[in-house]
Structure 1
Amino acid sequence: MSRDAKYYAAVEATWPPVTTHAIGCITVREGRGGGSRVSSATADGLPDLATLRQAEAEMRAVRQTPQFMIRKGETLLDQLLEAQGYRIKDPVTLYTVAAAKLADIVIPRVTTFCIWPPLAIQKEIWTAGGISDRRFAVMERVVGAKTAILGRIDDQPAGTAFVAQHDDIAMLHGLEIAPEHRRKGLAGWMMRQAGKWAKRNGAYELAVAVTQANQAANHLYQSLGMDVVGHYHYRILEENA
């Protein structure tokens, strides 16, 4: 497995779809509202148009707009989809850092906690940030080591995140800070708690996937010394084009 492939595998294992179905070289995923990561098809090779049309029909059958994840080196697939009316959506950057690098600082008392299942207040924070019950269902589907991180500041619950492990990679998803508590440093402490959890569970590194448009998150990960290890983007079909 190439260095890039292991991160794609970690994304899939720690944020899994409901089902997958192979149509030729295309893998169709059913996400049931869990977001682009669980609802996007991928292709291991360049499909012919008949296979592409069959995959599109399969995605529509589960009430999903046809959408693909385009990974590093898939230029021909990218060009094919563009020619078929697919537009680029949400370019994503993959970051990683050695878990030990985040775990070397003592976190202030009663600032972060690892909790599973998540508390009601964590779900409230996620819901307010646009993370719905359908994404909670994704978290529930994860098999293996996982936790939710509760963040507190000013003596109040103020942040939440989800972390799960695949092989030697722990991956963080859904980091959300209540608006009134942002820019107080809590997200950084929660990332360090994620690093400590990863290290305790034997993971070598902590990874995240974030849209390039999310400037605040990109700045946070860069400030923590996380390295860019990959990029991908989605292409979604303009059904009315």
Structure 2
Amino acid sequence: MTVDYYAVAEATWRSASSQTLGGFVVRNGAGGGKRVSAATLDAPLEHTEIAVAQAEMIAIQQSPLFMIRDGENDLDIALGAFGYTVIDPVTIYVSDVESLTESLPRLTCFSMFPPLAIMTEIWADAGIGPERIAVMERVTAPKTTLLGRANNHAAGVAFVGIHEKTAMLHALEVKQSLRRQGVALNIMRAAANWAQDHGAERLSIIVTQANKGGNALYTSLGMKPVGHYHYRILAPKRA
């Protein structure tokens, strides 16, 4: 089965709104970060339409930002010529759920939605504020948040949503003082357990290539890369 992981990301991490302008989908992320704010190509590339999408992003007070997905080399070159610079290359990883499921000790990880106040505090300490919590709230697909514990303390958090039998995990964060104690691993296992219980067959995650620890964890779990993308952003003075 061919899975559109970009569609999974779209369904499980929602922008505030979007519109199609010419050949681009322009998103209003409402401050929720790059993934929900980036414009994407939706038709054969017409260079003149880049300026149309750019103007709309400026009009809604967003920095002009485009996502370049696998195979969109012409768009990548065109944006470079317009003065856009590359930022945040990422890898999409996936594994079948069954290979990641595992029984966890009691009180290791909890699933719930909406998240508890302590969870939003952990996210806030990692720079994930109310605007990104709002992204989670906008998701209409099956979803949950996960709270991982270590040494009898709330230690880590993540959000998971499901689209067409593929779960995607977002916003995995572990408190600095409680890292290297297996919290992220337990959250991944708990995500797989929850996903399987809710009919998903695959668990996926998107991670920046600069996140060495994250990439090491996901590959150690046997997750395989299935896609890539990066952004191009226009410096404020060029905008």
Q: TM-score, normalised by structure 2?
A: 0.97
Which position in structure 2 is the counterpart of 1:221? 218
Q: Which residue of 2 aligns with 1:161?
A: 158
Equivalent residues, number:
238
Which amino acid in 2 is paired with 1:149? Answer: L
Instruction: Find the counterpart in structure 2 of residue 33 from structure 1.
Output: 31
Which residue of 87, 90, 94 corresponds with 1:89?
87
In the other structure, the counterpart of 2:174 is 177
Q: Which residue of 2 aligns with 1:12?
A: 10
Contiguous gaps of at least 5 residues in structure 2: none
Unmatched segments (≥5 aa) in structure 1: none
2:104 is the alignment partner of 1:123: no
Aligned mates of 1:216, 1:178 — CA distance in 2: 14
The aligned counterpart of 1:23 is: 21
2: CA distance between counterparts of 1:46 and 1:91?
23
Q: Matched residues in 1 for 2:72 and 2:141: separation?
A: 30
Per-residue CA deviations over 1:4-41 (Å, capped at 9, x if unaligned) read 6x100000000011111111111100001101100000
| Aligned amino acid, residue 85 of structure 1 | G
Q: Secondary structure at the match of 1:184?
A: coil
Amino acid of the structure 2 residue aligned with 1:145: P
Contact 2:157–2:173 (CA under 8 A) maintained in structure 1:
yes
Distance across 2 between alignment mates of 1:180 and 1:141: 31
1:191 correspondence with 2:157: no
CA distance in 2, matches of 1:15, 1:59: 19
**1:27-82 alpha-carbon deviations (Å, 9 max, x no partner):** 10000110110000001344334321111110011111111100010000100000
Q: Is the 8 A contact 2:23 2:46 kept in 1?
A: no
1:214, 1:121 → 2: CA distance?
25
Residues 195, 203 of structure 2: 8 Å contact kept:
yes
